[in-house]
Amino acid sequence: MKERIGVYICYCGGNISDYVNVNKVKDSVKDEDGVVLAKTTVFACSDSSQKEMISDIIENKLDGIVVASCSPKLHLHTFRSVAERAGLNPYEYVQVNIREQDSWAHSDKPEEATEKAIRLVRAGIRRLREAQPLLPNEISVTDSVAVIGGGASGMRAAIELADTGLEVYLIEKEHFLGGRIPQWGELFETNERGDILIEKLYNEIIKRNNIKIFTGTEVESFSGCVGNFNLEVKIKPRYVKSGIECNEFEKIEEGCPVEVDDEFNFGLTKRKAIYKFYKNAYPDLPAVDFENCTKCGLCEKLCPDAFDFNQKEEKLALKVGAVILTTGFSPYEPSEGEYGYKKNDKVITLQQLRRIMELSNGNLKWKGKEVKEIAFIYCVGSRQKSGENKYCSRYCCTAAIHTSLLLKKKYPYIRSYHLFRDIRTYGKQEILYRDSCKQGDIYLKFDENEPPVVEDLNNRAIVKVKDLLTEREEIEIEPDLVVLVTGMIPRKNSEIERIFKVPVGRDNFFNEIHPKLRPVETVIDGVFIAGTGQGPKNLTESILSSLSAAAKTYSLLSSGTLKLEPIVAFVDSERCKWCGDCAEVCLYDAIEKENQDGKEIAVVNEALCKGCGSCVPVCESRAIEIKGYTNKEIIGMIDGMLEEVR
Amino acid sequence: MVRINSAFIEKLRSYGSFDINACYNCGNCTAICPLSTENNSFPRRMIRAAILGLEERIDSSVDPWLCYYCGECTDTCPRDADPGGLMMALRRYQIRKFSVGKIGDFFYKSFHSFFVWLILTLIGVAGIFYFKGNPDMEEIKPLSLFSLDLLHYAGIIAFVFLLVIVFSQLYIMLKSTNFKSESSNKSGNYFKTFFTVLFREVFFQERFEKCEDKSRYFAHLLLVWGFIGLFIATITIMMMDFFAPHSEGIRIIPKILGLISGLPALYGTLYFMIIRAKKKGSYAKFSHHTDWMFILLVFLAILSGFALDILRWSSLFKVYYFTFAFHILVVFELIVSFPFTKFAHILYRPFALFLVELRNSRK
């Protein structure tokens, strides 16, 4: 029990003292049990005040301090450090909030505010009386990391992490790396091709032998705690052996009798049961779609050594110190009939148009007809008025404008109409918008309440829009192609969400802890997010976030050990009779049953515990408590709060 | 319901230099324009109509004539779309569009028409000498080159021709603007508006004065006054020749008026020629061939007029008669072709302002 406590009541300039009689507060707590020193101070956080506190602690041999000032969110660490510099344990300090929770809230009732301040400070003193010094938990970590999702973000993060010396597992669900970037052809600003960028990244990856690529691999389970996670993965067989020379793959693909929708081309074309997403997809080895395979035997006939149909699904356990989720996005799929989608065959999405451009030779044709005029309808599936997707997808304005620039370059006769709500070509992308205007693209602005209408008229698409820039005049266009500029939604990965327990926001993308200050961390320590799985981004922004996740991962694992917050649950083994209630309410799976000298009791995994306190009230035998918030401390606080003010 | 006509902007391109497709609808042009008001806001509307190719909107608008091309909009445009250039182009477009029998096409199609005109003039001069090649060589007698009857009939024919053309063209403009007269408009109102516009806008160029570059306004005002003076002087002398051929003494008055008016007109003309040649300011950065055609014609008419006054005191009789024939023809051409050239702005601009005033007075 603390017997030599110092109490400081802060004026906060006048923020507190204008409403709370700070001297009265000081006088009424100075004789509390254990208090040897009580002072007021104009700014407790000022440098001189901090120095004064340190000398007070040393001179008066104080064993703890209470500072009644602002919210702990602002200065908890300031005064913890004061305690530490004066030789105390940082947890031998209690902050009492008499500003946000008192003077500001009750500026109309100064007397009552003063009384409340006295009660709050008294509660703080009682809590400190029972406080124990706490030390951070130190654990050793595994120096490996799993990157889930082998798109551009994941590949880039893997390279960076490998260069720090960590072991990297790059896990991709599909049989080929690259994600969505190779689907788009030339990318905006640099006009580099997506597949070429992926090829560059792949060549860097294979240069590093501390990156292990797992394609056709999905995560099955995830357990453990920061620094020491256990990951179980399931590897689908490819049925094609690597390292075997076979020059007949093209012939085999041609001869394969199976035809299924090619997901890489958004169902615009068919692919065979033996396939590669695209010609230079990596790893440079086709895969067999066994589900759709008719087992005709053609492939084995032509290249007997290259195939092994006895390959089985494999399960693998990986131990990693951290995980980066780069699971990416899917294009928003318009509902049937949305702007005539799937009803009028002249209506396609921007993503489909990009594939058509990639696949077409000579003139741009759609359904056998030459395309001369294109109407782009913006914000489809983004900034929805009614509908889930309230957000702006960030990349689509520029992507559509860049597409129209590419079209004009390749097919100078094509004319583009842009039906937009606002043009958001931020930063350097603005130049593309200017270029598009200059090449004669026509921009029509619609109100979200009066979106354009696509009418089907004998296999023609008539687009009608009330143009805000022309005094809401109804303008009619008859394009050969209506392109819906669809936004981003997260990849359908509810399994990943479930397995990693990473929270998602209202937009269904992964949620970071703090969008500004902690943009790639999740509430699960050691699980980072990057790329478009976290929210709409263009490639530049995705890579930025993936590199920042890589840096955060390295700073977490680099020292080999981790210091964890000491405010965690602990179990009194005498009292515990293992009922399992605490384990059931634990959100972090931090409590497990253990046999101790023949007695079953609950044991807390301190690396997993967040100190949330959910377990404390459910324990009937009062066997589980939180360090820094023990029952004694809490009851002391309540007593201090309730005692009458004389 | 309107259809976009993207080919229209291409058609418009032959009328001037602008990059109006670059426009991103910020509205700075309209905000900065010293002449744009809440009731008559431009040039933004015209830009949009031009981009979308809404031909009817352009034909029906008097907005182009409310602009004096001070160039503020063009200088302010963040996209260098040159809205002022577009407004100028639209004026050229409307002059050609409203011209009776597509006579405007002759002048607007290409610069060649200028040479055609020049050659025709010289042929005309030669023709005069051929048919009436015995002017008085003892004493300068201008009328010995032309018969009074020729002038008389040519004048009457030209007058009737112009009267028909001017009213037809004003009618065409009125029709395309869909201007509807209302019963609430008494004829007194029309007169009042007409005279207001005449005094304020024609004689004093009040709107032009709002443009920031005052030297342009000043030069134009001098040119207008000079022109009015020259016009009155010429008409008076012709009348005197016709009605009182022997009133030598009083003739000095219109002659002096002519001289006094010639100087400001010459200054104005030279001013515009110089800024156009130097491409000074956004207004003069681009000159359409019709701009030069008009300005050169005016210059030649004034210059030959001055030359006559000097030659009158010399003994270069042949030169005098030749210059005289040239002067008369240039003036004649200038007047006869005026409804189809840049000169037509003296017709459309006041008329447009008149319509706008009428419309505003109703509100």
- Kindly report the CATH number that applies to the domain delimited by A330-489: 3.50.50.60
Q: Do residues B57 and B165 both lie within one domain?
A: no
Determine whether the interchain pair A474/B79 forms a contact, defined as Cβ–Cβ distance below 8 Å. Answer: no
Q: Quick one: which of B36, B37, B49, B69 has its CA closest to B4? A: B49
Q: Do residues B206 and B126 both lie within one domain?
A: yes
| From A306-310, A370-374, A634-638, the region with the lowest mean pLDDT | A306-310
Residue B11 domain-assigned?
yes
Residue B22 domain-assigned?
yes
The rounded percent of chain A whose pLDDT value lies above 90 is 85
Describe the crossing of helices B44-52 and B83-98 by its angle, rounded to 10 degrees: 70
Residue B239 domain-assigned?
no
- Kindly report the CATH number that applies to the domain delimited by A565-627: 3.30.70.20
Mean pLDDT of A411-428: 96
Residue A552's pLDDT band (cuts 50, 70, 90): very high
pLDDT at A52 over 90: yes
Q: Please state, in angstroms and as integers, the Cα–Cα distance from residue B117 to each residue in A128, B105, B296, B333, following that order.
A: 105, 14, 12, 9
How is domain A5-134 classified at the architecture level of CATH? 3-Layer(aba) Sandwich (3.40)
Q: Do residues B174 and B202 both lie within one domain?
A: yes
A371 and A360 in contact (C-beta within 8 Å)? no
User: CB neighbours of A458 closer than 8 A, spacing ≥ 6?
Assistant: none
Alpha helices in A467-558 (DSSP H): 494-500, 539-557
Q: What angle do CA A69, A74, A80 make, to 5 degrees?
A: 80
pLDDT at B132 over 90: no
Q: Please state, in angstroms and as integers, the Cα–Cα distance from residue A371 to each residue in A374, A407, A480, A574, B50, following that order.
A: 7, 11, 5, 80, 25
Confidence at residue A249, expressed as pLDDT on a 0 to 100 scale: 85
Residue B230 domain-assigned?
no
Span A82-95, pLDDT tens digits: 999 999 999 999 99
The shortest C-alpha distance from A433 to chain B (Å) reads 9
Which residue type does A95 have?
Q
Confidence at residue A167, expressed as pLDDT on a 0 to 100 scale: 97
Confidence at residue B243, expressed as pLDDT on a 0 to 100 scale: 77
Q: What CA–CA distance (Å, rounded) separates A520 from A554?
A: 13
Nearest to B6 among A415, A423, A473 (CB): A415
**SS3 letters for A132-184?**
CCCCCEEEECCCEEEEECCEHHHHHHHHHHHHCCCEEEEECCCCCCECCHHHH
Q: Do residues B107 and B166 both lie within one domain?
A: yes
Mean pLDDT of chain A: 94
Determine whether the interchain pair A423/B9 forms a contact, defined as Cβ–Cβ distance below 8 Å. Answer: no
Range of the domain at B130: 101-210+288-362
Instruction: Specify the higher pLDDT residue, A59 or B41.
Output: A59
Confidence at residue B236, expressed as pLDDT on a 0 to 100 scale: 86
Q: Do residues B130 and B186 both lie within one domain?
A: yes
Q: Do residues B19 and B76 both lie within one domain?
A: yes
What residue of A is the nearest CA neighbor of B45?
A470
Q: Do residues B33 and B178 both lie within one domain?
A: no
Reduced to 3 states (helix: H, G, I; strand: E, B; else coil), residue A41 is strand
Mean pLDDT of A517-540: 95
Confidence at residue B247, expressed as pLDDT on a 0 to 100 scale: 67
- Kindly report the CATH number that applies to the domain delimited by A144-236+313-328+491-557: 3.50.50.60
pLDDT at A621 over 60: yes
Name, of A421-425, B178-182, B258-262, the range with top average pLDDT.
Answer: A421-425
Span A345-365, pLDDT tens digits: 999 999 999 999 999 888 899
Residue B133's pLDDT band (cuts 50, 70, 90): low
Neighbouring CB atoms inside 10 A of A104's CB total 15
Residue B363's pLDDT band (cuts 50, 70, 90): low
pLDDT at B293 over 80: yes
Mean pLDDT of B207-217: 88
Phi, psi of A46 (to 5 degrees): -65, 160
Q: What CA–CA distance (Å, rounded) separates A96 from A112?
A: 17
Nearest to A442 among B3, B22, B51 (CB): B51
Span A106-133, pLDDT tens digits: 999 999 999 999 999 999 999 999 999 9
> How many CB contacts within 8 angstroms connect chain A with chain B?
52
Domain boundaries, chain A: 5-134, 144-236+313-328+491-557, 249-302, 330-489, 565-627
Q: Do residues B43 and B162 both lie within one domain?
A: no
Confidence at residue B314, expressed as pLDDT on a 0 to 100 scale: 82
Neighbouring CB atoms inside 10 A of A387's CB total 12
Confidence at residue A304, expressed as pLDDT on a 0 to 100 scale: 83
User: CB neighbours of A207 closer than 8 A, spacing ≥ 6?
Assistant: none
Q: Which of B50, B76, B98 is the last residue of a domain?
A: B98
Q: Which residue has the tokens 């602990």?
A: A570
Reduced to 3 states (helix: H, G, I; strand: E, B; else coil), residue A5 is strand
Nearest to B22 among A437, A470, A471 (CB): A437
Alpha helices in A478-592 (DSSP H): 494-500, 539-557, 581-585
Using a CB-CB cut-off of 8 Å, the residues of chain A touching B6 are 415, 440, 442
pLDDT at B138 over 80: no
Q: Do residues B183 and B293 both lie within one domain?
A: yes
Q: Quick one: which of A107, A218, A226, A126 has its CA closest to A173? A: A218
Q: Do residues B105 and B199 both lie within one domain?
A: yes
Do the first three CATH levels of A144-236+313-328+491-557 and A330-489 match, i.e. the same topology? yes
Q: Model pTM?
A: 0.82
pLDDT at A27 over 90: yes
Confidence at residue A627, expressed as pLDDT on a 0 to 100 scale: 95
Q: How many domains does chain B have?
A: 2
Q: Do residues B334 and B321 both lie within one domain?
A: yes
The shortest C-alpha distance from B21 to chain A (Å) reads 5
Q: Which of B55, B82, B98 is the last residue of a domain?
A: B98
CATH code, domain with B14: 1.10.1060.10
* Secondary structure E strands in A252-328: 260-261, 270-271, 274-275, 287-288, 314-320, 322-325
Q: Which of B98, B122, B147 is the last residue of a domain?
A: B98
Q: Do residues B90 and B108 both lie within one domain?
A: no
